[in-house]
Amino acid sequence: MRKRHRILLPVVLTVVLTVGGILWGSDALPIPRWNSANPSEQAEVPADRQLVGNSKVYAAAALTGNPYLIADVAEDSSPAVVFISVEWPQPEIDTSRSPFDDPFFRFWFGDRFFPFPTPGRPQPRQSAGTGFIIDTEGHILTNQHVVGDVGEGQTITVRITTAEFDGEVEAELIGADYMLDLAVLKIEKPQELKELPTLPLGDSDRSRPGEFVIAIGNPYGEQFDHTVTIGVLSAKGRQISIPDYDKSTVKLYQNLMQTDAAINPGNSGGPLLNIKGEVIGINTAVNAQAQGIGFAIPINTAKEVLTDLIEKGKVERGSPWLGVQYESAERYFRVSGAQGIVIVNVLEGQPAEKAGLKEGDYVIAIDRKPIRGTQDFMAKVQQLQPGQQITLTVRRGGTQLQIPLIVGERPEDID
């Protein structure tokens, strides 16, 4: 019998951790109360062209010299943004996951906001969210947590709203990836449309914190479809954890874009646009315990795997492997706030040993990107590809070293 080593390298952690109120922006929630406000008086501007009383809109108008820039982008982009509703087959036992009975939302908002399903009567699992059409062939990009995985038997309906057509069409889930939280749907063009509306994909690597961004989605379900919000790109490279009760895990996201553009339940899978109308992100999550903190998957992450999702139905990847066991520097050194990880075991014949790494090496960076702790190290390793060469910044015996290492592929007998 082959010896099986257990190395802690998964991105999806199989322990339930206490995490700060981050939640997906899918599924409908009860409509909150709000106070009505009188619109600003602008007698010199026609009523149908008045600016919304939002300081960010005025700032964007002032900086660009176009008072209707945001409205123009929203008007041009909205037809390609679709409302997605999903229903899974009725289970034999009551595993209802309706938009108002999702344990994920119960965790954050409590039972008082959610009606209970009829006791003893199985109900179909349901979900709702947003997506956007990326080509005239009918491919729609959205989040995996909105639509599930391929082969689950779910029924997916997409609502398209344009000047020529306002109705629902059936969609097929042709590809999904749980780790990246990305999915691709396929629809047929309605006869009423000459051509499907589409959104251009931008370059998220070129986006900069501080630039204006626009989110379009369906907060709180179809009633408020095509809601437009504006904000700025607050930061890049963010890492968050979200509990996934369906799989009894905590899901780790890395390299996310942070924005203060309002993202609400129902926005998941919708586009985050720059002021050129290009998609730079896919709205994914919102911090329920704070205002103005939402997260989006960079569009370049999706562009890298679109071909796999469309043609193969999944992302084909080798599992990156270094061949080390490690623990956080904070725990190893017993120093609060210490960053990095410390290698506690180097497996014989594996990439780390071949590179010259040793037990006790204090690893503080991968390719000069600082390592905050074990989760950050796991996230960075999972972004690597087998065969890729990286450089580890290592402290050993008072000396700082730059150690090149070629990433391997996880052996089948190791889990």
Mean pLDDT of the chain: 80
Q: Which long-range contacts (CB under 8 A, 24 or more apart) does 244-248 make?
A: 244/12, 244/104, 244/145, 245/103, 245/104, 245/107, 246/97, 247/12, 248/14, 248/16
**pLDDT at residue 9, as a whole number:** 39
> What per-residue confidence (pLDDT) applies to 185?
98
Give the residue, 266 or 324, on which the prediction is more confident: 324
216 DSSP β-pair partners: 228
* Amino acid identity at 192: E
Cα–Cα distance, 155 to 66 (Å, whole number): 43
Q: What is the model's pLDDT at position 248?
A: 67
Question: Would you tell me the crossing angle of helices 55-64 and 69-77 to the nearest 10 degrees?
Answer: 100
- Degrees (nearest 5) of the Cα angle 20, 26, 31? 90
Joined together, the tokens standing for residue 266 give: 């129902």
Q: Where are the beta strands (DSSP E) in 335-410?
A: 341-346, 362-366, 369-370, 389-396, 399-406, 408-409
| DSSP letter string, 120-132 | T-----EEEEEEE
Weakest-pLDDT range from 76-85, 213-222, 272-281: 213-222
> What H or E segment, with its residue span, contains residue 382?
helix 374-382
Whether the Cβ atoms of residue 266 and residue 128 lie closer than 8 Å to each other: yes
Residue 96: predicted pLDDT = 46
Q: Is 212 exposed, middle or buried (0-12, 13-18, 19+ CB in 10 A)?
A: buried
CA–CA dist 62, 275 (Å, integer): 13
Q: How would residue 255 be classed by pLDDT, with cut points 50, 70 and 90?
A: confident
CA distance 120 to 138: 40
Would you state the pLDDT for residue 223? 74
Q: What is each CA distance from 316 to 85, 268, 311, 412, 415, in whole angstroms?
A: 27, 24, 11, 16, 19
Overall average pLDDT of the 29-43 stretch: 31
Question: Residues with catalytic annotation?
Answer: 145, 181, 268
Mean pLDDT on 280-293 = 82
E strand spans, 193-308: 212-217, 227-244, 249-259, 271-273, 279-287, 294-298
**What pLDDT does 18 receive?**
35
Over residues 153-161, the mean pLDDT reads 95
Q: How confident is the model at residue 56 (pLDDT cuts 50, 70, 90)?
A: low
Cα separation values, 176 from 31, 135, 181, 309, 311, Å: 30, 18, 8, 6, 11
Tokens 């919000």 belong to residue: 229
Per-residue confidence (pLDDT) for residue 298, from 0 to 100: 95
Q: How many residues does this entry show for the chain?
A: 415
pLDDT of residue 256: 93
The per-residue pLDDT for 108 is 37
Tell me, yes or no, if the pTM score tops 0.85.
no
Token pair for 211: 């630039």
Share of residues in the chain with pLDDT > 70 (%):
73
Please tell me the predicted confidence (pLDDT) of residue 13: 37
**Per-residue pLDDT at 134 exceeds 90:** yes
Q: Hunting for tokens 């009567």 — which residue is that? A: 121
Q: How many CA atoms lie within 13 A of 103 on its CB side?
A: 9
Which stretches of 218-277 are assigned E, i.e. beta strand? Answer: 227-244, 249-259, 271-273
Q: Which pLDDT score is estimated for 239?
A: 82
378 vs 402 pLDDT, higher one: 402
pLDDT score, position 230: 93
Model confidence pLDDT, tens digit, residues 296-321: 999 999 998 999 999 999 987 778 89
Q: What is the pLDDT of residues 347-367, one digit of tens each?
A: 999 999 999 999 999 999 999
What domains are defined for the chain? 11-31+54-316 (2.40.10.120), 318-409 (2.30.42.10)
Whole-Å CA distances, 283 to 7, 61, 242, 367, 374: 32, 24, 15, 28, 26
Using 50, 70 and 90 to split pLDDT, how confident is the model at 45?
very low
- Name the token pair of 94: 């009551």
219-235 burial, b for 16+ CB within 10 Å, e for fewer?
bbbeeebbbbbbbbbbe
d(CA 133, CA 185): 9
